[in-house]
Copies of this chain bind each other. A is one copy, B any other.
Amino acid sequence: MTNPVLVEVERGEQVESCHRGAVAVVDARGRIELVLGDAARPIFARSAVKALQALPLIETGAADRYGLGDEELVLAASSHGGEPAHIAGVERMLKQCGLDVTVLACGTHWPLNQAAAHALARAGRQPSALHNNCSGKHAGFVCVACATGVPHAGYISAAHPLQREVRAVLEGLTGMTLGEAAIDGCSVPTWAIPLTNLAQAFARFATGHSLPPARAKAAARLRAACAAKPFFAAGTGRFCTVLMQALGERLYVKAGAEGVLCAALPRQGLGIAVKCEDGAGRGAEVIMAALIARFLPGDGADRQVLNDLMRPTLRNWNGIKVGVLRPVAPLLTSQGGARAAGRGRPQRV
């Protein structure tokens, strides 16, 4: 099926570009609140499932053993900007299990945060694996290996006991058997999962529904940590951080590469999964902001943050407003929702 246009990019008075995508909003039992586009096609969730990949860090007792606080827990589920506080936190995680940057197998890139990258260059330094946006997740993996007495060597391989445990956690939450893994940007396995299953997984993450008690408790602890320290989930001015700063415990949200975003709305008991067909993060962000505005009742201040994120102004290098991104009709109304996907009323996945 052809995914609908969900976002228009306007310049002057004209649509310059557009983004198509698919969306699923599902509760923990699998009841579909909204489906747009092809939500049944498996998509690589990429970094959007880092919170689920980080659950063993808490469940195995590794987090407590190494005395990890909120900042470190959030970093274990983060795609951080490589800002100084991010780097310091990841170093603390590694130090707690007696290791350092040399154990990280994520590869190296310059900090995503431009100011942090330029500060590093200005200091005459080069980036290390600590600056990789996935270094917190990798440090968390290493902590789990160390705490459970598994050699950390090869921890990025799909055959390593750690990745098999991560896979089992994902299968439990998504309610499906995962196929063969592809390789993610940071070299760990990434699996293709339909948006409906991803959304249900985040509804379970939001509520603990149908999870073993230890896993439900780990999910609640991780959500609380993100609400308390959202800076460590992404960084200055970035979508997930800004939204969680504004909405606190009412929202968990996480971006993945190639236009993926997942969210959990604990009070509504809903999970949301978004894939922008072309892989554009800007498209996925507008879609997600529009869905949160639709499904999460909020007050004036919340609305302003959501409005700014769902209709971002495009300004040029002189600060002149040249256009806007905006969500289009099927996202804003119930028309074209579950009904358009051939479902007259909410269904189970």
Contacts and interface: CB of A to CB of B under 8 A. Distances in A.
A2 interface: yes
A187 B316 contact: yes
A144 to B, nearest CB: 21
A278 B279 CA distance: 9
Interface stretch (A81-89, A116-124, A215-223): A116-124
19 contacts: A2-B2, A11-B182, A11-B190, A14-B44, A14-B182, A16-B44, A17-B258, A17-B276, A107-B316, A109-B317, A118-B118, A119-B121, A132-B317, A182-B322, A182-B323, A183-B320, A185-B317, A187-B317, A278-B283
Interface residues of A, number: 53
A318 interface: yes
Q: Taking each of A44, A107, A183, which has the highest tally of chain B beta carbons within 10 Å of its own beta carbon?
A: A183
A29 to B, nearest CB: 29
Nearest to A118: B121
Per assembly, the copies of the chain total 2
Contacts of A106: 317-318
Given A2-B2, A187-B320, 19 more contacts: A9-B258, A9-B279, A12-B180, A14-B44, A16-B44, A17-B259, A18-B278, A19-B278, A20-B278, A105-B318, A107-B317, A117-B121, A122-B122, A122-B124, A184-B322, A278-B278, A278-B280, A278-B283, A279-B280
Contacts of A268: none
Nearest to A41: B15
Nearest to A316: B185
Contact of A322 (B9, B11, B16, B183): B183
Interface string A172-200: 00000000111111110010100000000
A332 to B, nearest CB: 20
Contacts of A277: 17-18, 278
A120 to B, nearest CB: 8
A336 interface: no
A18 B275 CA distance: 11
Contacts of A124: 122
A110 interface: yes
A117 to B, nearest CB: 7
Contacts of A121: 117-119, 121-122
A42 interface: yes
B17 A42 contact: no
Interface in A253-293: 258-259, 276-280, 283
Given A117-B118, A122-B124, A124-B122, A317 B108 contact: yes
Given A109-B317, A317-B107, A43 B19 contact: no
Interface string A3-28: 00000010111101111100000000
A255 to B, nearest CB: 14
Contact of A318 (B11, B14, B107): B107
A114 interface: yes
B12 A182 contact: yes
